[in-house]
Amino acid sequence: MPAAPLCRLEDIPDPGGLDLTIDGEACFAVRQGGTVYLYRNRCPHIGLPLNIIPGRFLDYDRQHIQCSSHGALFEIGSGHCIAGPCRGQQLEILPCQLIKGGVFLHAAD
């Protein structure tokens, strides 16, 4: 387990997202209740970051992750693209663990 969490659960709006930097790369966390998902902030369409506004990763209804550039929609829990120019493709998901309210990158043992 890393020494410090990436962020705390309460740092992430519910539902909502939070920009993070992991090993120098842009990433983000999305929260749904007590569950957190971590993704690299890179759209599979043409590789742009998904958000323009910090923390703004979800669509209007806050039911899906939405890319700000061309509107691709992704399932929050899987990163699978269900609509838009990269339909059928996938965000890169990173394994994470919630330990005592801290969000940790889950390194392989």
Name the site residues for ligand FES (rule: CB under 6 A): 43, 45-46, 48, 67, 69-70, 72, 84-86
| 103 vs 37: CA distance, rounded Å | 9
- 5 versus 17: smaller Cβ distance to ligand FES: 17
Query: Which residue from 103, 82, 109, 108 is spatially nearest to 22, judged by alpha carbons?
Result: 103
Identity at 5, one-letter amino acid code: P
Would you say 79 or 84 has its CB closer to ligand FES?
Answer: 84
How far apart are CB 45 and ligand FES at their closest, in Å?
3
Cβ proximity to ligand FES, 55 vs 85, nearer residue: 85
With the C-alpha atoms ordered 88, 91, 96, 98, is the resulting torsion angle positive or negative?
A: negative
